Every structure is written in C-alpha cells, then in structure tokens.
A and B are shown apart, each in its own frame.
Chain A
Amino acid sequence: MNARALHVPRWVERAFPLIVLVVGLLAIAAGTDLLAGRVFQRVVTVMFINVILVVALQIFTGNSGLMSFAHVAFMAIGAYGSIWFSLSSQEKRLTLPDMPESWFLHQVHLPFIPALIAAGLVAAAVGAVLGVPLLRLRDASFTIASFAWLIIVHSVALQWDELTRGSRTVFGIPQYTGLWTATGWMLLFVALAFLFREMPLGLKLRAARDDEAAAWSIGISSAWVRWVALVFSVFVAAVAGGLWAHFITTFSPNSFYLRQTFLIVAMLIIGGSGSVSGAVIGAVAVSLTSEALRSVENWLNLQRAAQTALGQVIPFQLVGFTEIVIALAMIAVLILRPSGLTRGREIRWPFGPKLDRPAAVEPTPERAGW
C-alpha cells in the first residue's frame, strides 16, 4: 500500500480522466467566452471542432490499431450532407445552384441538429458499406486503401456539381455553430469515445488490436468489432464536418484533402492515439501551438513588408512555416516517443495505490497500435 493512496469510490477513479478532460475543456470554453476577443473565439471554436475530428479518428484508429486517412473524406460527406439538409429550398438556389429543383433533396429542410444527425447517418451508411471490403486489409494496406478513399471522395466532390457545386466554393451557409454549440458536441463525443473505449466492445477491439489470434481464440470477431468502431467513428467525423460547415460557411472540396488530413493525423500522433486523453491533448496542443506560430509568422511578414530592421533580414515571405514545425514535431514524436505525449494511456488518478494493477507493460511500437 502506498502512503499517497486516497480512497475514493472506484467509479471516481475510473471516470477521473473523463472528468479532467471535461473540466479542462469547459474551462477553456468559459475562459474564451469571457476574456477573449472575436478572433480568438473563432480559433477556439475551430480547435474544438478539430478535437471532435481527432476523437473520431481515435475511436477507430486508437482502438483498432489501423491508421485511417479516410476520415477527412467522411468529414467532407458530413459537411456537404449537412448543407443538403439544413438549407431551405430558397437558400439552395443560391448555395447549390446546380441541384435540380425536382430532386426530393431540394425540398428537404431540417432544423440544424436533425440535419447534422442526418448527415452523420449518411456518412455512417457509406462507411458501413465501405468498411466491409476495407476492413479485410491489415496494417499499411488498410492505410493505403483508406487514402485511396480520400482521393475518390475528393475527386467525386470536385465533379458532382449537383451536390457540391463542383470545384467552386459553396457560400451563403447560415452560421449555426457557435463556441458553445461546438463545446456541447465536443463534450458529448469525448464522453462517448471514453465510454466506447471502456465498454466491452471497446475492450474486445483493443484485444484484437494487441493480438488478433489470441482474441480469436476467446471468441472475439475482430471483423465485427472493427466494423462497429468504423461506423461509429465515421458518424462522429461527419457530425464534426457538419459543425465545421456551419461555422466556416464557405468551403470547397479542397478544404477536405491532404492538408486537413495531415493536421488531424499529426494531432493524433503527437497526442498519442491509444487514449482519448491523447487525442484531446494532441488536438489542443497542436492547435494552440500552430496558432501562436501563425501569429509570429504574420508579425514577421508585416515586419518584412514594413522593411524594419528585423524585416530586412527575412529573405522571403513566410508561408508554411507552421506546417514545417508540426511536421517536425510529428517526426520527433514518432522517433522518440512512438505512442505519443500521453504514451497511449489515459490521465491517471494521481492518488491511487501504486501497485493497484499489474505493472503496465511498456507498449512496444506494435502493441501501442503503431
């Protein structure tokens, strides 16, 4: 028994990571609402939507060990899907002028939340069909196939004028998502992801990730649990896409491509894919860091434009500086700490007896899902 042990009901200890995450995120939301200006409020809202996306990816990737590049494609389906359902016939004439008025979809006009859920269900249905062939693949083959799906969705979105306005930007979408809407959905999905990880299905999924043969031998169908996780995580990603669409209000298929994929994957890898805490911490850390870097970048560019003493030493307009730092951080994490900042574990109850459970085996790269 450890002297530090503080006896609390078992559920407090088990729910501790979730409580910390919820309190922390709520504090960020409240602080932003009370103290920050409009610009920073936008930054935090986008960050919260990114948290949902990273949590969506964690639900699947973290628990199954299969890295997916396809989630941004489902974000796209969610974004376009949500505007099909949430815009009135009148608004669609402006925003999606190529959609034939005779289509049933043209008449559909749902309130915001049902529209989000409908978009999520559309994406989940697509994911459910896609998952059947895709989940037969393992390791890198799965990742490449999911990457192919990203390209497919991007190409289709660029061409299907009736549904997406093709490569042109859609605009005129009402801004329904605010800071607290994003906060509410984020907390909901963080909690669901946490529960999913701990519930029997999530445990089976993680068992199949760690040792597929052993999981088989105790009657776990890895194909089934992976499929359920994929469908659920795709739903979450699509809802995030819908929230994003109704926050940004103008976007094009290129918004949902390699850049966004890189960002989401980097957030998950840096935070640690094995735990929900890792997903949230990675998303928050990368968002705040890149925002700080971006303002430094802008400031330096202004200096350069004004030809001040400092500005004259900058040889070129700074673009992509932020991405360079994120990419470097990601490579460093992959090399030095392959299971991320959180080492793939949830935040631990700090007052627990030290030898409460069998000493955790330090995750090898394979075992951590990488």
Chain B
Amino acid sequence: MNDIVQFVVSSLSLGGLYALMALGLVIVYGILRLINFAYGELVMVGGYSLLILGKTVWPWIFVAALSVAMAVLASVLMERVGFRPVRNASPTTMLITSFAISALLQNIALLTVSPRPQAVRLPGFFVQTLTIGGFRVKAVDLISLAVSLILLGVLTVFLRRTIMGMALRASADDFTMARLLGVRANGVIAVAFAISGFMAGIVSLFWVGRSSLVEPAVGLQPVLIAFIASVLGGMESLKGRSSAATFWASSRSACSRSCPRACSTTGRPSPSAS
C-alpha cells in the first residue's frame, strides 16, 4: 500500500513537471509555429546556475530564484539572438535553428563547465521523507506537485484574465489578425519566451533536485517526454496538454519502475526510476 501511494505521488509530480515543460513548448509553438529543440538547454541553464550559484553562501531559495531568472533570461536571449532573424522563414528552418542552438549551448556547457555530471547543493527539505497519515512520501515529490498545480492555475488565470494573456491567446489563434488589432509582435513573442523560460527554470529545480546531478545533456530526457506529451495533448490547442502530459508521465513512470532499462533513452536507468 505504501509503495502504491509513493508511486502515485511520484508519478503525479513527474507528470506535473512534464506538463509544465509541455506548456512551455506549446506557448511558443502556438505563436511562432516553432518547435523548440533547444528547450532542454534552458533546463540545463537553470541546473548549472543552481550548481554555480549554489557554491556561494546565499540561502537556497535565493539561489533557486536566481536560477529561474537565468533560465528566463536565456530563453529571451535565445529568441532575440537566434529566432528573431529566422522568424519569417519556414517552420523547418526555425526547427533546424533551434537544433543548432541546442548543440551550441550543450557544447558551451561541455567546454566551460565539465562533461561530467556534478552534484548540486540541495536544501535539506528536498531529500526528506515525510510521513502523512501513515504513508511515507518524498518531500520533493509533494513540493513539485504543489508547485506545478499552482503554476498551471496561475498560468490559466493569466491567459484568461489579463490583457497580455488575451494578446497571447489571440496571437496563437491568428498572429496576423492580432497584429492588425494592435498587438505588438516583438512584445508578445518575448513574453511567450519568458513564460517558456520560467517553466523550464522551475522544472530544472525539481528535475535536478531528483537526481541532485547536473550534466550538459540534463535537459534531453525531459524535453523528449515533453515533446511527446505536447504532441499527444495537441500542439494546436491550449487545452488538454497538461492532462496528456500527466497521463503520459504516469504511465512512463510506471513503465520505468517495472523495467528501468527498457524505458531509458540513454542506456542507463532514468532518474525517474529512483
């Protein structure tokens, strides 16, 4: 029984993370029709910020906030430098550009940090196990589940109720029409990338928190799953993805528990199996 509860909580929390990433992918895709291969590298940026800033004496929560900010910054910069010049090219050109950016960022990390996985400082509450009503669950699972739910809720409200949210939805619907009605293209795209980077930053905290290791290819596995989740949930619609992502992550998590090797994309048991 205890195992089942642990399993459900762990799967749901992973599902939440994948849902956040899938949202981050889709919010950009909706407007630009860009499938961002370099999205995993934003998780990497978050992870390495956590590693490097974590060597200071600053409180962890401050380091985490800075890491998320770094991911947002990287995302916005990525759009400004890499994607804006090819914005009007075909979807395939943009996709290949993102592929090149992904290779670029990974190799920069390889060059300037280290090809080897490195341990990240984590706060004590991350690795604790809580006992709730007789069931033992990992604190990190509960926290990441709660954060995902809150973020999904906040994002929904933001998209529904604010002017910027409406502009985003209108642009996803018909970018030309939205621009004719006075939506600033650069602004709305920058906001989409910022949200996307924010999601990646939050995911990086918990993804790195699960294994406490960060390496140049850390973002590869979650982004592959997020790709699948966003395709399953529908790239076009702003609905249904999160449920698809959660469902997919849960079934994947179930699979990797029963046969860790078969589910890994790297030949090693995935961190989700631990």
User: Which residue numbers of A lie inside 8 Å of B, CB to CB?
Assistant: 65-67, 139-140, 143-144, 148, 151, 154-155, 158-159, 167, 253-254, 258, 262, 265-266, 269, 316, 318-321, 323-324, 326-328, 330-331, 334-335, 338, 365-366, 370
**Contact A67 B95, beta carbon cutoff 8 Å:** yes
**Contact A366 B224, beta carbon cutoff 8 Å:** no
Of the A-B pairs whose beta carbons lie under 8 Å apart in the complex, a sample of 9, sorted by A's number, is: A151-B224, A254-B267, A262-B103, A319-B110, A320-B106, A320-B108, A327-B107, A331-B97, A334-B89
Contacts of A167 in B (CB 8 A): 267
Interface size on B, residues (CB 8 A): 36
**Contact A321 B111, beta carbon cutoff 8 Å:** yes
Give Cα A232–Cα B35 distance, bound, in whole angstroms: 28
**Contact A324 B104, beta carbon cutoff 8 Å:** yes
**Contact A158 B267, beta carbon cutoff 8 Å:** yes
In the assembled complex, how far is the CB of residue B222 from the closest CB belonging to chain A, in whole angstroms?
A: 14
In the assembled complex, how far is the CB of residue A324 from the closest CB belonging to chain B, in whole angstroms?
A: 5
| Residue of A67, A266, A321, A335 touching B85 (CB-CB under 8 A) | A335
B129 within 8 A of A: no
**Contact B104 A328, beta carbon cutoff 8 Å:** yes
B262 within 8 A of A: yes
In the assembled complex, how far is the CB of residue B1 from the closest CB belonging to chain A, in whole angstroms?
A: 32
Give Cα A170–Cα B136 distance, bound, in whole angstroms: 44
**Contact B267 A67, beta carbon cutoff 8 Å:** no
| Residue of B92, B101, B267 touching A140 (CB-CB under 8 A) | B92
Within B68-122, the residues touching A (CB, 8 Å) are 82, 85-86, 88-97, 99-101, 103-104, 106-108, 110-112, 115
In the assembled complex, how far is the CB of residue A274 from the closest CB belonging to chain B, in whole angstroms?
A: 13
Give Cα A253–Cα B265 distance, bound, in whole angstroms: 11
In the assembled complex, how far is the CB of residue B102 from the closest CB belonging to chain A, in whole angstroms?
A: 8
Known A-B contacts: A151-B224, A365-B93. Give 8 more (CB < 8 A).
A140-B33, A140-B95, A151-B265, A258-B220, A316-B111, A320-B111, A326-B103, A334-B97
Determine the main DSSP class of B at the interface with A: helix
Contacts of B104 in A (CB 8 A): 323-324, 327-328, 331
B231 within 8 A of A: yes
**Contact A144 B86, beta carbon cutoff 8 Å:** no
Give Cα A262–Cα B88 distance, bound, in whole angstroms: 23
**Contact B35 A144, beta carbon cutoff 8 Å:** yes
In the assembled complex, how far is the CB of residue A297 from the closest CB belonging to chain B, in whole angstroms?
A: 10
Give Cα A254–Cα B217 distance, bound, in whole angstroms: 14
Contacts of B103 in A (CB 8 A): 262, 266, 323, 326-327
Give Cα A319–Cα B107 distance, bound, in whole angstroms: 8
Give Cα A288–Cα B92 distance, bound, in whole angstroms: 27
| Residue of A253, A321, A334 touching B96 (CB-CB under 8 A) | A334
**Contact A139 B92, beta carbon cutoff 8 Å:** yes
Contacts of B89 in A (CB 8 A): 334, 338, 365-366, 370
In the assembled complex, how far is the CB of residue A300 from the closest CB belonging to chain B, in whole angstroms?
A: 12
Contacts of B110 in A (CB 8 A): 319-320, 323
**Contact A140 B35, beta carbon cutoff 8 Å:** yes
Nearest neighbor of A159 in chain B, beta-carbon distance: B262
**Contact B91 A334, beta carbon cutoff 8 Å:** no
In the assembled complex, how far is the CB of residue B74 from the closest CB belonging to chain A, in whole angstroms?
A: 15
**Contact A320 B99, beta carbon cutoff 8 Å:** no
In the assembled complex, how far is the CB of residue B56 from the closest CB belonging to chain A, in whole angstroms?
A: 20
> Which has the most chain B C-beta neighbours within 10 Å: A66, A139, A266, A327?
A327
In the assembled complex, how far is the CB of residue B126 from the closest CB belonging to chain A, in whole angstroms?
A: 29
| Residue of B92, B101, B262 touching A143 (CB-CB under 8 A) | B92
Nearest neighbor of B216 in chain A, beta-carbon distance: A320
Contacts of A330 in B (CB 8 A): 96, 100
Nearest neighbor of B267 in chain A, beta-carbon distance: A167
**Contact B267 A324, beta carbon cutoff 8 Å:** no
B227 within 8 A of A: yes
**Contact B99 A265, beta carbon cutoff 8 Å:** yes
In the assembled complex, how far is the CB of residue A249 from the closest CB belonging to chain B, in whole angstroms?
A: 21
Nearest neighbor of A367 in chain B, beta-carbon distance: B90
**Contact A265 B111, beta carbon cutoff 8 Å:** no
B261 within 8 A of A: yes
Given contacts A140-B92, A143-B95, contact A324 B100 (CB under 8 A): no
> Which has the most chain A C-beta neighbours within 10 Å: B96, B106, B262?
B96
Given contacts A262-B99, A327-B101, A331-B101, contact A144 B231 (CB under 8 A): yes
**Contact A334 B265, beta carbon cutoff 8 Å:** no
Nearest neighbor of A67 in chain B, beta-carbon distance: B92
Contacts of A154 in B (CB 8 A): 265
Contacts of A328 in B (CB 8 A): 104
Give Cα A121–Cα B10 distance, bound, in whole angstroms: 45
**Contact B100 A139, beta carbon cutoff 8 Å:** no
